[in-house]
Structure 1
Amino acid sequence: MVALDAKGDAIWIQVPKTKLNKFVGDMFIEFTSGTTMVPVADVVPPFSEYCFRFLKHEDIYPNRGQRILLLDVVGQLKGHYRTRESTSTNRNSKHKEITIMLLEGIPVKVVLWGRFPSILEKIIDASNNRNVVLVNTFVFVSEWNDELKLSSSGVTIIYDRLNLNEVNVLKERTVDNAPKLIEEEKILAHFRLKN
């Protein structure tokens, strides 16, 4: 997984499979004195600088069938369907399909997984409107019947209205003025958490 430390620097963490299901998007990881960390240069998959900006339709469309790392998909909620539950050999997982409107007015389907469907439902019930803004990272892009669909189980931020400073700041960001959280020379300095 990719994690951000207290300084905003990115580190790559390898988690044992037996502990993987216990990790959620907003969990803090504390490194104790017994933690061993070693630098690695062969991080897979590689990723570039993390840039907070709106992911536009023109950015999403060429990536269908792929996983997009470290980009933000932001849109206003336009519709949602009931929460469903999927059963696998390891665990049950809830998911909810919604429709968001990108800034350029193009609708995109998004499938939220894990705890995010229930969070979204609580916000919708409390706000009694559809002014919900979603910020999704770590998305998989698929296409079905000429319709784009994003599947997100990574870091997801949900705002309950549009007129928030955080949302306005995001709206004004472009590739040129977006803050770079990972400097180029730090990309090779990620770490692997050893058992």
Structure 2
Amino acid sequence: MAMCWTPLSKISTDRDNWTIKVRVLRMWDAINTKNNEFISLDMIFIDEEGSTIHAIVRKNQARTFRPQLLEGRVYTVKNFRVESTKGEFRPMHNDIRIWFMTITTNMESNEDMNSIQKYCFEFADYDQIQNQCYNYTYLIDVVGKLVAVGNVEEPQVNGAPRKLRNLQLLLKEGKEIRLSLWGTSVWQIDEDVYKNNPGPFVLIATSTIVKSFGGKFSLSSTSATKVHLNLEIPEDGFENYTVAKIFDAPSNEKKIPMQSLSDNKSATVNFVRSSQESSSAISSMINTNDATKGENDKSSQIEQIRIDQTSNVEDEETDDDNIPINMLYKR
């Protein structure tokens, strides 16, 4: 007998015995950056309707549930608490969220679940990024053309060294913006891939925050951030393709391998609710970029340059906002 489940759009806070069938879109460890303390195991679920919800496993239950859950897999989840969404650093737009309980059960689905999409983002354009500056209610998903990659540095932040890698992105509006990856996020980008391949590269970064210094806006990673480079997204559910192809690169140009450069087994807001919409959004960005950049994109030679700008940290209460960017590999 087939099990019945409720769409995410229909669950509410009035009971705890819901049954849902969802894919784990992303999963990550929520970390307090002030003391590096583990807070919770967090996930984003998505169902067949394309609805998404933030799900949380408390610190004291993480050891039990972590081995039972894998990013990308589909599960039937039963008996969880639903509560109104509160506080800052929300990874996506939903008025409710899920908390795992001791009695929560989850069973991996062995059925063909291609009907549940594998990717879903809430991309912000440049105006929305500006409006979210120092507003940490919602985290920002961003897509852009990667134009510069910095070395891994270890600046002093709140009296202790912290790993940092700065990237430069070209957005669809023709604006460049810095993305600072902090902590273990620095290893989600391999600078050798960028230096040794002709590109182009389309980068997606999830769950970032927006800050400004000297009148310039910048993005910083959080513990929820996941980076995708030239992500393969199914279009209309038929075939996978690498987003780099939409640049219409010459046929003799070296193929760029798809990179999902993340060890983090881990959206404000222009909603992108399907793989097809994601593909359209990226295609639109590339077409705009090609018209805007002009001469700057004609040369693929990599040169090392020093950029006299500053970097912002993930922790909003830090006073150390004056960290220089080191050498960048820029196209």
| Fold shared by both chains (TM-score > 0.5) | yes
Q: Any residues of structure 2 matched to 1:40-189 within 5 Å, and which?
A: 40-45=83-88, 48=93, 52=121, 54-67=123-136, 69=138, 71-85=140-154, 94-121=163-190, 122-125=192-195, 128-153=197-222, 154-159=225-230, 162-164=244-246, 168-172=279-283
CA distance in 2, matches of 1:116, 1:164: 27
TM-fit CA distance, 1:171: 2.9
Is 1:68–1:138's contact at 8 Å kept on the other side of the alignment? Answer: no
In the alignment, structure 1 residue 16 sits paired with structure 2 residue 58: yes
- Aligned equivalent of 1:191: none
TM-fit CA distance, 1:74: 1.0
Instruction: Read off the aligned partner of 1:171 and give its amino acid letter.
Output: I
Is 2:172–2:284's contact at 8 Å kept on the other side of the alignment? Answer: no
Residues 69-128 of structure 1, C-alpha deviation per residue, up to 9 Å, x if partnerless? 365311111112111247899xx8643111111111111000123544333215325x52
Determine which structure has more spread, i.e. the larger CA radius of gyration.
2
Instruction: Read off the aligned partner of 2:57 and give its amino acid letter.
Output: V
User: Structure 2, unaligned stretches of length 5 or more?
Assistant: 1-41, 95-119, 232-242, 248-274, 286-331
Is 1:52–1:71's contact at 8 Å kept on the other side of the alignment? Answer: no
Evaluate the alpha carbon distance shift between residue 28 and residue 98 of structure 1 in structure 2; reply closer, same or farther with a 3 A threshold.
same
Aligned length: 166
Is 2:199–2:244's contact at 8 Å kept on the other side of the alignment? Answer: no
Using structure 2 for the length normalisation, give the TM-score: 0.40
Is 2:170–2:176's contact at 8 Å kept on the other side of the alignment? Answer: yes
CA distance in 2, matches of 1:98, 1:120: 9
TM-fit CA distance, 1:9: 3.5
Using structure 1 for the length normalisation, give the TM-score: 0.62
- Comparing both chains, which one has the higher relative contact order based on Cα–Cα distances under 8 Å and sequence gaps of 6 or more? 1
Q: Which moves more between the two structures, 97-106 or 146-155?
A: 146-155
User: Structure 1, unaligned stretches of length 5 or more?
Assistant: 175-195
Instruction: Read off the aligned partner of 2:124 and give its amino acid letter.
Output: L
Evaluate the alpha carbon distance shift between residue 169 and residue 13 of structure 1 in structure 2; reply closer, same or farther with a 3 A threshold.
same
- Aligned equivalent of 1:39: 82
CA distance in 1, matches of 2:203, 2:175: 15
